[in-house]
Amino acid sequence: MLLEMLKGKIHRARITQCDIDYEGSLEIDIELLEKAGILPYEKILVVNATNGQRLETYAIPGAAGSGTFCLNGAAAHRGSVGDIITIMCFANFTEAEARTFRPRVVVMDEKNQVTAIRLGRETIA
């Protein structure tokens, strides 16, 4: 049996842009994707803390160091610039793997700067 567990998370980022005319996805600064262990084009769950909306889409890499979080296509209807969002990705693990795996969590401030990086609950940066 496989268990679906949190693999990576970017917590409390701010939406910087919305582009209804783009094909779809959420564009995220590539450096932040790497810190969270989220791969380009990986399926993600986005939770909007400002309006309560949730959506599934995929991550596309944005410019390094930009702090970009741009909702594209139909997803742009689920948020506005300045909304606080959390981005999560999940992976399947055996029970033995799940007991020892620790997800990467990147915590953001109001300017989309990293304030902490954790493995599970342990702060590593």
CATH assignment of the domain containing 64: 2.40.40.20
Q: Which token pair is 23?
A: 């094909």
Looking at 22, 41, 58, 80, which residue is catalytic? 58
What pLDDT does 87 receive?
A: 99
Mean pLDDT of the chain: 97
Determine the pLDDT at residue 23.
83
Confidence label for 125 from pLDDT (cuts 50, 70 and 90): confident
Q: Residue 50: pLDDT above 90?
A: yes
CA atoms within 13 A of residue 52's CA, in its CB half-sphere: 0
Query: Looking at the 3D structure of the chain, how many domains does it have?
Result: 1
Classify the C-alpha dihedral 63-64-66-71 as positive or negative: positive
Q: Of 25, 41, 66, 80, which one is the catalytic site residue?
A: 25
Mean pLDDT value across residues 49-68: 97
For the question of residue 22 being annotated catalytic, the response is no
The answer to whether residue 16 scores a pLDDT higher than 90 is: yes
The pLDDT tens digits for 100-114 are: 999 999 999 999 999
The CA distance from 117 to 92, in Å, is 22
Q: In the numeric block, which tokens belong to residue 118? A: 């954790």
**Structural domain of 49:** 2-123
Mean pLDDT computed over 78-86: 98
Q: Which of 93, 79, 82 is nearest to 16 (CA)?
A: 82
pLDDT band at 24 (very low <50, low <70, confident <90, very high): confident
Taking residues 17-21, report their average pLDDT.
96
Strand runs (DSSP E) across the chain, as ranges? 2-14, 17-19, 25-29, 43-48, 54-62, 69-72, 84-94, 104-108, 114-119, 122-123
Asked if residues 124 and 118 have their Cβ atoms less than 8 Å apart, the reply is yes
pLDDT on residue 25: 94
